[in-house]
Amino acid sequence: MIKKISINGSPFVGVYASCNNSIAVLPNIEINEDIFKKTLNVETFKTTLGGSPLIGSLMVMNSKGAVVTNFASDEDVSFLFDRINVFFVEDKINAIGNDILANDKAALVHVDFDKETIKYIEDALDVEVVKGEIGGIKTVGSAAVVTNKGMLVHPNVKDEEIEFLKNLFGVPVYISTANYGSLYVGASIVANDYGAIVGDKTSNVEVDRIENALDIIE
Query: What three-state secondary structure class fits 15?
Result: helix
Q: Do 62 and 103 meet the contact criterion of CB atoms below 8 Å apart? A: yes
pLDDT in tens, 189-217: 999 999 999 999 999 999 999 999 999 97
Query: What is the pTM (predicted TM-score) of this model?
Result: 0.96
Residue 64 has pLDDT above 70, yes or no: yes
Q: Which residues pair with 145 in a beta bridge?
A: 152
Write the CB contacts of 77 (distance below 8 Å, at least 6 apart in sequence): 25, 47, 49, 59, 66, 68, 86
Residues 152-169 have a mean pLDDT of 97
- Is 3.30.110.30 the CATH classification of the domain at 2-213? no
Domain ranges of the chain: 2-213
Residue 91 has pLDDT above 90, yes or no: no
Please give the span between the terminal C-alpha atoms of the chain, in angstroms, as a whole number.
5
